[in-house]
Structures are given as C-alpha cells and as structure tokens.
Amino acid sequence: MDPVNFPSGGESSEAGEQIGSALADRDGVLRELSHHLTQAWASFDHPRPVEPAPAADLVERLSWALPADGSDPRTALGDAVQILEASISPSRPLFLAYVGSSGLEAGVLASALLAAYDANLATAAGAADLLDQQAVRWVAEFVGFPAAEGHFTSGGQTSNLTAILTAREQALPGAREDGLGGRRATVYCSAEAHHSISRAVEAAGIGRRSLRRVPIDAEHRMRADALAEAIARDRADGFTPVAVVATAGTTLTGAVDPLDAIAEVCEREGVWLHVDGAYGLPAAATSVARARFRGLDRADSATIDAHKWLGMQKSCSVVLVRRKGALRAAFGHEESYMLHDADSANPVDSTFEYSRPFRSLKVWLSMRVHGADQFRTWIEGTLAHAERFTEAVRADPSFELLHEPMLSTVCFRHVPEGMAESELDGHNARLAEVIQRDGRVYLAPAELDGHTCLRVCFVNYRTTSEDVELALEVIRELGELPNLGVTP
Ligand SMILES: Cc1ncc(COP(=O)(O)O)c(C=O)c1O
C-alpha cells in the first residue's frame, strides 16, 4: 500500500491552514446562502410558468472530472442553486405527483443545524436524546397513537421494515438468531399496499410468496372478512401469521383500510397489527378526517412519514410501537466497541439503522415554531383542495373521476368527446407526459382498476385554492390541444 503523504514545508503548511479554514469568509458565504434561500422560498410561493432547462455551460461543467484544486465557494454554490432550479422540487405548490412534501422553512433551519452539529443518534448523544424522544411523543400524540416507544428513521420503507422485524421476533422468538429454521411465516396486507411491505417481507426472510395480498372492497380498502379467511386458511396449512399491515392512506388512492375491523381480527388471532400511515396518518390529527382512522389505537405499531404530509425535508419518518421493549427484543445486541449497560442503553439497541442523523430536530423545531394547530389547519387545507378538485372533475364532462377520494389523492382521466374507450389509456399516458413537459403542473400517471389515469396528491401547505383551479385549467387546456400538441 502506498504510504500516506502528509504535507510538510512552507507550501504544504499553507495547504493545511486552508483546510482548517475551508470557508474562510463564513459570514460572506452564509449571507450568500441566505440570499439563495430567500429567493428559493419566494419562488416556491407561486407555481412556475415553466420548468427551466439547465443552461448549456452548466451542463458542460457537469461533465468535468474531479477537481484537484478547490474553487470559490460562491461560484460552486451558484452552480448548485442553478442545478436545483432546473430540477423537480416537491416544495413547489403545483408538484402534485406521488406523495410530495412542502420543504417547510422551519425544517430547513433545523436541517442546517443538524448537519452542522452532526450528532449521531446511534449512541447516547446527550440532550439530543431527550429532544428526540420528545419529538416521538409529539408525533404520537398528534396522530393519536398510544406509543410506548418509537424512533425516527430514514423513511417509510425503514419504518415498515422495523415494524415487520419487530413483529417477527414477537411471533417467532429467536428468529433473529436462528432464522426461520423451516418455520413458515406469513404477512398480510391489502392488494394496494405499498411495495415497501413486499421488500420488508423479503428482507425479513419471510419471502414475498408468503405475503398475502388481501382482496379490497369497492372503496379500495382491505376486506377484513377476507383477511380473517386468509389467516384461518394459513393456520390450517401450518403457517405462523407474523403481522397484518393495514394501510392508512394507500399511495394510489389514499384509501384507509378499516382499522377497527382489522384490529378485531388481529386481536382475536393474536397477530401483530402494523398500520402503514406513511402518507395518510397525519390526517388522523384533523377533526374532518379523524373518524376514518378509528381503531388506530388498537394497533401494535405505526409508520408516519414526516417527510410527506408533515412537510419535512427528506428523509424523516417515524415508527411508533405500543409496547415497551418490543424494539429492544428485535434489535438489542452486544458489541465490544460499544458498551451496552442496561442503564445507558444506546438508541441503536432498538433501531434497525446504525448511524442516524438528528432527524427529529426538524419536526421538533417546526412544531415549536408553528404549533400543532397550524399543522392541523394546513392538513385540512390540503384535504379541502382535494375535495374542490374532485368536485371540479366531477362537474366537467371532459373528465372522469375514477374513485371517491378519502384523503387528498384524486385519480381521474381525461375523456375527450368521441374518443373510444380503447384509446383512453394511451391518451392519458401521453397527456401526463405533455403535462410534465409543459412544466406548470407536475403530476404522474398511474393505473387504477385497469385504467391509465392522471393522479394528483395534495400535501403541500404552499398550494392555494387558486393553484388548484390553475392545475385543472392547465390539464384541460393541454388535453384539448389537437393531437395533444404533438406534431406527428
Ligand atoms: C403508504 C406508503 N408506505 C410506504 C412508503 C415508503 O416511504 P419512503 O419512500 O419514505 O420509504 C410510501 C411512499 O410513498 C407510501 O406511500
């Protein structure tokens, strides 16, 4: 191996000093950053008339090889901002694809602080641990889940995996040590549950073939009767049910599974109930949508993505568990480089992740700055947007509403007069592309009940009622262009 060359002599000691003060003009650079941020925030206040393409000279710089020498941070910052300006940002009010966010400003402040201090929440981190647990309690209280413990994670995928691994250890004690050892296990979720459940089941060694996709009803919700039948069938065949994953807000339509009826089955069968509320659970905090989540307090665990409807920056999810000790049973361990005294347990003894950033600071600061009521008002505002959008779609004969929305997601399609049914899928897929290219609205196509559709999801606090009207106007305008404005 080549020896490491440490700098020596006059020239290199200068290099050493440069490293020590890499940002020599800290105030100047921070002022520059602050200027960029205020510009960005101002531009997020309104939809953009177009999605700009990156300038040719910027694209050229993106082909440069690794620079051996440094350069002016202001110039590099300027390029970073230009790149972001030419990229898709869910912070913009008419980003309506997938499940977006808001890029809440208080979260940006916390993001800067947590990056600067770089606390590691894997080990005991001092006062940060107290704040972290306070933020977990706040999120649990906000959505109405009786959590005894919980953690911030890297996203819904990790929260769901954490819950499945925890449930596996409860149903099959010792599985983390011995593997399944020939024992056959099953997990249940609805036909429209998020793919992260499949991945979690794969990663837990249960095997995707043992994930039972329970049929849904006309409202796209898991059928509790079909769940009970599936569990009975599997038990008779010698399977051990590990967990039922109910979705509280499916990604496709925002359907909330009947939690109470599912909890009934789980309690009767002694099966762990996990609620994947990555997208929808924040709505349980509102008086208008709370009733849809009845039974949530009977679940064993729940996932909430703060980087979706709570407006936080990615990545920031929370996994909550009702019974204390279940996480430690699934993740506790002894390593010689980290002492695990019972009195000073490291958080890593109850998390799937090792090194963990101080994600909770974003939620904590935002809740401190805005308060829970403001969050409720924002969420109710987005629910009202979805309702307004739904009514406008219903009232316009050139559109067809494809389901009755439960939360803030609406699936619909454009049905030009005289167009044959067989042409509608292709037309809507092309229309989605044309809308994305136009840039005023960003949405993604989806497939619902065999139809290609347009799908919008309102979770951004920056979206106004006027923006909602504009979105539909743009979609209508582009849909009516002869041949969708594409020259053959
Ligand atoms: C219902 C649901 N669960 C889980 C996930 C995965 O979350 P993440 O992307 O934060 O890992 C999503 C993402 O959209 C989701 O909608």
Q: Give the model confidence (pLDDT) of 234-290 as tens digits.
A: 999 999 999 999 999 999 999 999 999 999 999 999 999 999 999 999 999 999 999
**CA 408 to the chain's CA centroid:** 15
Distance 484 CA to ligand 1 centre (A): 32
| CB of 81 closer than 8 Å to CB of 43 | no
Residue 46 lies in a domain: no
- For residues 431 and 454, the answer to whether their CB atoms sit within 8 Å is yes
Structural domain includes residue 246: yes
CA of 399 to the centre of ligand 1 (A): 28
Mutate to test the pocket of ligand 1, among 194, 195, 276 (most ligand atoms within 8 A of CB): 194
CA of 103 from ligand 1 middle (Å) equals: 17
Domain range holding 268?
A: 118-361
Indicate whether 17 pLDDT > 90: no
Give the phi and the psi of residue 161 in degrees, each rounded to 5. -65, -40
Calculate mean pLDDT across residues 131-159: 98
Q: Is residue 127 part of a domain?
A: yes
- For residue 345, pLDDT beyond 80: no
Strand partners, 95: 442
In a domain, 298, yes or no: yes
Indicate whether 243 belongs to any domain: yes
Task: Report the atom number in ligand 1 closest to the C-alpha of 155.
Answer: 10
Q: Which atom of ligand 1 is nearest to the CA of 247?
A: 1
Ligand 1 pocket check: which of 160, 190, 279, 304 to mutate, most ligand atoms within 8 Å of Cβ? 279
Q: What is the mean pLDDT of residues 437-459?
A: 97
Cα–Cα distance, 413 to 411 (Å, whole number): 7
Spatial strand order of the sheet with 399-401 comes to 399-401, 409-414, 451-457, 444-448
Model pTM?
Answer: 0.94
Ligand 1 centroid vs 408 CA: distance in angstroms? 15
First CA to last CA distance, the chain: 60
Residue written as token pair 């807000």: 249
pLDDT digits 0-9 by tens, 97-126: 999 999 999 999 999 999 999 999 999 899
pLDDT of residue 341: 59
Helix ranges restricted to H, 404-447: 421-438
> Which residue has a Cα nearest atom 6 of ligand 1?
156
Task: Answer whether 244's CB lies under 8 Å from 188's CB.
Answer: yes
| Ligand 1 geometric centre to CA of 270 (Å) | 26
Nearest CA to ligand 1 atom 8: 156
**Within 13 A of 418's CA, how many CA atoms are on the CB side?**
1
Name the residue at shortest CA distance from atom 4 of ligand 1. Answer: 156
pLDDT for the residue numbered 10: 40
Atom 5 of ligand 1, nearest CA residue:
156
**Does residue 253 form part of some domain?**
yes
CATH number where 344 lies: 3.40.640.10
- Confidence grade of residue 179 (pLDDT, cut at 50, 70, 90): very high
Nearest atom of ligand 1 to the alpha carbon of 156: 7
Mutation pick for ligand 1 pocket among 251, 308, 313, 459 (CB with most ligand atoms within 8 Å):
251
Instruction: Please check whether residue 81 lies inside any domain of the structure.
Output: no
Residue ranges of alpha helices (H) inside 223-359 are 224-236, 259-269, 326-331
Residue 355 and residue 216: Cα distance in Å, rounded? 39
Tell me: pLDDT of 488 over 90.
Answer: no
CA of 159 to the centre of ligand 1 (A): 9
Please state, in angstroms and rounded to a whole number, the distance separating the CA atoms of residues 186 and 50: 48
Which ligand 1 atom sits closest to the C-alpha of 160? 4
Enter the tokens of residue 93.
Answer: 């009010």
Report residues whose beta carbon is within 6 angstroms of any ligand 1 atom: 99, 155-157, 160, 194, 196, 247, 251, 276, 278-279, 305, 317
486 pLDDT band (50/70/90 cuts)?
A: confident
> Quick one: which atom of ligand 1 is closest to the CA of 159?
11
Task: Give residue 70 CA to ligand 1 midpoint distance, Å.
Answer: 39
Q: Atom of ligand 1 at shortest distance to CA of 193? A: 1
314 CA distance to ligand 1 middle (Å): 12
For ligand 1, the distance from its centroid to the CA atom of residue 320, given in whole angstroms, is 15
- In the sheet that holds 211-214, the strands lie side by side as 149-153, 317-321, 301-305, 272-276, 240-247, 185-190, 211-214
Mean residue pLDDT of the chain comes to: 94
Residue 74 maps to a domain: no
- 279 C-alpha vs ligand 1 centroid, how far in Å? 7
pLDDT in tens, 32-43: 999 999 999 999
Q: How far is the CA of 44 from the centre of ligand 1 (A)?
A: 24
Q: How many domains does the chain have?
A: 1
